[in-house]
Structure 1
Amino acid sequence: MSALLEVSGLVVAFGDVRAVRGVSFTVGEGETLAIVGESGSGKSLSSLAVLGLLPAQARVEAGEIRWDGTDLRAADADRVRRLRGEELAMIFQDPLSALNPSLTVGYQVAEMFRRRRGLGRADAGRRAVEAMTEVGIPDAARRAGAYPHEFSGGMRQRVMIAMALALEPRLLVADEPTTALDVTVQAQILRLLRQRQRAGLAMVIISHDLGVVARAARSVVVMYAGQAVEAGAVADVYPAPAHPYTLGLLAASPSARDGDRRVRPIEGYPPDIAALPGGCAFHPRCPFARQRCRTEEPPLREVAPGRSSACHYAEEVVSRGATVGHAGA
């Protein structure tokens, strides 16, 4: 299957500081890719760059972003704006901040149909109620007249999903779509997204929750300090990760299936992106680190068909991970 979205060598910079450094990934029709990593790893910036929604201080310094054959970096601003909503959509991390507090939720959903489909107020209102009903908002006709603060976190997230899916986009970027939601609401939202995926929707899910990734995605890119340090199929990466950072993330993720297994946090803190250590950026926190890791930055290389890792000792990490077993799935 050919890729709908192709990102290659993406570099995003704030002044002289590169917050995203050479990230590449592809997503095909009906596929779901997860991008995972700690806060500040560059995962959200990568997706905002794809949609042309970077903050004013940031710029795409290098790389290619192609959507269904169209070079989005070379496309004019009007073309990119037309694609957003029509073909590319995003669920933002904090729905309360993303929604306008002074407008009813029904008005905000209906606005998609008024602006992009040219519908009148009454027809747009009916379509908004249908979209809200489709994502599981009960009594949607009445609730459409409520304001965002009158909704629970889970219901606000459903409103965001209704807005993102209103125009039937081909790609959905979901930035932490289940953050701060209880497990029941998480399951409901993931089920909604999987239904659309089966109908051909391509998705990029950005998350720090490895359990969500295991349930929702087929492929995963693990980011650290602005770079992709591991990539591959979830079914391959989770049982035997090929990078010490991925190994640490999995060991730090609780799972009900692990019984009394102790959760082991990764020691130390992510580096300052403006003052990265020499060699491998992860080496100050890495239990596998040796002298080579302190002086030589490892390239992202293929370690098995369809799998890549930016670790000098990836094969050793795979062997260690396969014998330990991990949580998060």
Structure 2
Amino acid sequence: MSEPLLELDRLSVRFLLGRGTEVRAVTDATLQLRPGRVLALVGESGCGKSVLASALLGLLPGNAQVRGEAVLRGGIELLSAPEPVLAGQVRGRHVGLVPQSASTHLTPVRTARSQLVEAIRALGGVAGPDELAERVGLDPADLDRYPHELSGGMAQRVAVTLALAGNPQIILADEPTTGLDRPLVHRTVDLLAEAAIDDRAVLLITHDLAAARRVATDIAVMYASRIVEAGPAEQVLADPWHPYTAGLLAALPDGGFRPIPGHPPALTELARIEQEWGCVFCQRCPDVPGFGPCTGDPELLDLGDRWVAAHPPC
């Protein structure tokens, strides 16, 4: 098996809000991203997925406390790397970012071409703007448009060209399909999957399980700051072991449109819920009787190619 491009070991992020209030945004995330793979990190909005992405790129606010490890192949430890290393070696060169709402991240008074040329020059890219445009299925002439002249799909493709400008080994796509209609969602994730070739890989962060199912080779399911299940996408989606994963699948059209009852807990309440209930999903779990808490251990169990949060019958 090839060496991982990125390894996360018990990555945790906390935000201190004052008066003793703590937001548990990410808790003990452990993942591996390998060449030629698309790893989809899925879960409901607000579970901590985008915070994890920001932690990898050193883009968290000053009140964040980070622990654990996130190591790139070659030895760069992202969580402890100083800003000059992140800015000069990591962002754009090792890890290219496709942000949410691509059109809002483009400078409105400059053409797409001028922004792409600047990115290629700054990152030392070898491919020209027209070549990158053609690689993502964009007419090179569209690069001469201003952001307000681009459709949503064009803007998304420009964002992907910017992420590819420095020829990174990892594409980190943070909710790249937000606000897009279904056909455009399919085109966007298909485009990202095409980037996971040879020695490259994609980390797709999304709340859209249908989009993830379309392209993911591996999947990690996140709930209330914790990864509760992970493994090969085909296995996890065909035979989910955690009730949260099963609930997400049941909420899809082909699963019967059966949403999970209730709402995810506030990230400020996780410590109390874990203490009282044993795991943070128990208040919504169909396996838990109404009169008692879950006896599950929130630690992940390694079961070969698959990981699952311990969740014994209650």
Which of 89, 93, 108 pairs up with 1:86? 93
Matches within 5 A, 1:3-152: 3-15=4-16, 16-60=22-66, 62-68=67-73, 69-82=75-88, 83-117=90-124, 127-138=128-139, 140-141=140-141, 143-152=142-151
Equivalent-residue separation in structure 2 for 1:287 and 1:311 (angstroms): 15
The equivalent of 2:171 in structure 1 is 172
Which of 254, 257, 264 pairs up with 1:263? 257
Q: Which residue type is aligned with residue 52 of structure 1?
A: G
Moved more, 304-313 or 245-254: 304-313
Runs of 4+ in 1 over 6 A off after TM superposition: none
Equivalent-residue separation in structure 2 for 1:201 and 1:229 (angstroms): 26
Change (3 A) 1:169 1:299: same
Equivalent-residue separation in structure 2 for 1:196 and 1:118 (angstroms): 16
The equivalent of 1:237 in structure 2 is 236
Change (3 A) 1:184 1:113: same
**Given that residues 137 and 155 in structure 1 are in contact (C-alpha distance below 8 angstroms), is that contact kept between their aligned partners in structure 2?**
yes
Equivalent-residue separation in structure 2 for 1:292 and 1:203 (angstroms): 41
Equivalent-residue separation in structure 1 for 2:216 and 2:27 (angstroms): 23
Equivalent-residue separation in structure 1 for 2:70 and 2:40 (angstroms): 17
Q: Which residue type is aligned with residue 41 of structure 2?
A: I
**Given that residues 229 and 306 in structure 2 are in contact (C-alpha distance below 8 angstroms), is that contact kept between their aligned partners in structure 1?**
yes
Equivalent-residue separation in structure 2 for 1:118 and 1:165 (angstroms): 9
**Given that residues 293 and 312 in structure 1 are in contact (C-alpha distance below 8 angstroms), is that contact kept between their aligned partners in structure 2?**
no
**In the alignment, does 2:3 pair up with 1:2?**
yes
Equivalent-residue separation in structure 2 for 1:286 and 1:191 (angstroms): 33
- What TM-score, normalized to structure 1? 0.85
Q: Which residue type is aligned with residue 107 of structure 2?
A: N
Change (3 A) 1:296 1:134: closer
The equivalent of 1:275 in structure 2 is 269
**Given that residues 125 and 166 in structure 2 are in contact (C-alpha distance below 8 angstroms), is that contact kept between their aligned partners in structure 1?**
no
Per-residue deviation at 1:186? 2.8
Total equivalences in the alignment: 300
Equivalent-residue separation in structure 1 for 2:183 and 2:148 (angstroms): 21
Equivalent-residue separation in structure 2 for 1:218 and 1:209 (angstroms): 15
Structure 2, unpaired ranges of 5+: 17-21
Per-residue deviation at 1:41? 0.6
Q: Which residue type is aligned with residue 286 of structure 2?
A: P
- What TM-score, normalized to structure 2? 0.88
Aligned residues: CA RMSD: 2.2
Structure 1, unpaired ranges of 5+: 120-125, 256-260, 318-329
Per-residue deviation at 1:272? 0.7
